[in-house]
Amino acid sequence: MADNTQELYNRYIELMRKITDIKKAADVLQWDQETYLPRKSSDIRGQQIATLTETAHHFFSSEQLGNILTELAGKNDLTENQKKNCELTLEDYLKNKKYSSQFVRKLSEQINKTFHAWIKAREMNSFSVFENELNVLITLKKQESELLGYEAHPYNAHLNEYEKGCTVHFLDNVFEPLLPFLNSLLGKIKSQAPVDNAFLQQYFPKQKQWEWGMYLIQQLGFDFDSGRQDISEHPFTTSFSPTDVRLTTRIDENDFANMTWSCIHEAGHGLYEQGLPVDQYGLPLGEYCSLGIHESQSRLWENNVGRSEAFWQNYFPKLQEFFPEQFKTTSSEIFYKGINKIEPGLIRTEADEITYHFHVYIRYELEKDLFEGNLKTTDIPAYWNEMYLKYLGIKVPDDNHGCLQDIHWSHGSFGYFPTYSLGSLYAAQFYTYINKMIPGLEEDMEKGSVLKILQWLKQYIYPYGRKYTSDELCIRITGESLNASFFKDHLLRKFGNMYTL
C-alpha cells in the first residue's frame, strides 16, 4: 500500500475511534442509568447523554470525515478489510447526514423521558403513565422513517436498522408458514399430559441465585476480567469495547427460571461482544454483524445449549449443590422436562421455544400497525390483550404482565423484536452445523465442557464483525440462506421425544 493511502487510512481510523469513544461514553451513562442511577438524577442524565449523542453526530457528519471517505473510496491499494471498513463507514456516514443535530438531540432527550416514564409506569402498573411520552417518541420515530427513506412500508426503515435488508415482505414470508407449524405442534403437546415444573416456583434466595448465575456465566466462558454483571429492571447486554462488556439480569426469588436463562441468554450476547476483534475497535469490522446474528448467539446458548439434556447432565448435580433443599427430590429427567415445559404464558422472556414466537409476532404486528397509522398509542393495551387471547389463548391480567413488560419501546427500538425470531432460526441452523463439524459434541457437554462450541463461534462468527451481511454469513457457514426447516427439525426432534408425539 502506498504511504499516502496508509496515512489517509490512519487518519480515518483516528477520527472513527474518537467518534466511537464519545458514543461509548454515552453508552456508559446509559448503562449506569439502567443499573445504579439515583432516582432524582434522570433529567440531568438525559441532558448529558443527549450532549454526547449530539457531539458524536456532529463529528460523524463532518465535512472532514466525508472528504477522507470519498478519497479512500477512490483508492485501489486498500486491503480487502480496509476497503470493506471504508465502504460500510461511507454508507453509515451518508445515512447519518440525513439527521440534523437538532433532531438527534431531541430524539435522545425524548428516549430518556420515555425510559423513566416506563420505569414509573412499571412501578404503578399502569400504561397510562407511559402513554404520553411513548406517543411523543413514536411520532419522532415516524419522522425518522421519512428522514431515512423507505420502500413500500415506513416500518422497513426501522427493520433495516437492526437487520440490514430486512423488510415487512421478508418477515411476513418468515412468519406466515412458521406460525401454523408452531400452532399445530402446540396443539399436539396440549393434548398430552401436562409436564410438572412446580419445582421451579419455590423460594430461591436472591443472593444464592446471584452466585449460581455468576458461576454459570463463568462456566460458559465469559471473561470477568473483560466484563461484569449487574441487576436491572429488564435484562440486557451492552459493550463499550471487547474488553469491557456489561451484562445485566433480574431475580425473582419465587421463580428459578427467570434469572438462570436470562443469565445464559445475556452471556451469549456478551461472549459475542468479547469475541469481536479488538484491533478493529471503532470500525465496522469491530461491530456485530446484525441484531439477527446477535440474537442467534443468545438464543443458541439459551436454548440449543442451555435447555439441552446433555448440558444438564453435568450441571444439574452442581445445581443441587447450590440449592440442596429445593432440588433434593427432583431427578435430572424431571428437571429437564420441567425447564422445557411447553405452555402459553404472559411473559416473552420466560416463554418456551414454541410459544416464544407468538410473543414476537404480536409485537411485530403491533409495531407494523403503529407505523401504518392503523393503531394509536392509546389503543396499545386493548390491542395487546386481544392478540394474546387470539394467539396464546390467555387473558392479560394487568399492564405489567402485558404491554409494559418490555423495555424496547422506551428506548425507541421499534423493529428490534423480529430479530428474536430470526435469531432462533439462525441459531438452529448454525447449531446443526456445529454438531456436524464437532464430533462428540454432546458427550463433551455431558462432561461439562462447552469450550469447543465457543471456539467454533470464535472461528466462524465473531471475527468478521460487519464484513458480511447476515445472509452472506449464513451462506458461508451453512451453504444456504436462512432456512426455517432447521428450526422445525430441532423442535420436532426435541419435543417429539419429550412428549412422545
Would you state the pLDDT for residue 233?
A: 85
Write down how long the chain is: 501
Would you state the pLDDT for residue 1?
A: 62
Would you state the pLDDT for residue 213?
A: 97
Cell of 218: 463463568
Give the active site residues. Answer: 266
Q: How many separate helices (H) and strands (E) can be counted in the chain?
A: 20, 3
Which residue has cell 443458541?
A: 300
User: Whole-angstrom Cα distance, residue 461 to residue 184?
Assistant: 33
Instruction: Give, to the nearest 10 degrees, the angle between helix 380-392 and helix 356-372.
Output: 140
pTM of structure: 0.94
**What is the mean pLDDT for each group of 10 consecutive residues in the chain (501 residues)?**
86 97 96 92 93 95 95 94 97 94 95 95 97 98 96 96 96 97 95 92 96 97 97 92 97 95 97 98 98 97 96 96 96 95 94 97 98 97 98 97 96 96 98 94 92 96 97 97 97 91 74
Would you state the pLDDT for residue 234?
A: 84
Contact indicator for 237, 34 with CB cutoff of 8 Å: no
User: Whole-angstrom Cα distance, residue 416 to residue 158?
Assistant: 8
Pairing of strands 244-249, 237-241: antiparallel
Which residue has cell 430461591?
A: 204
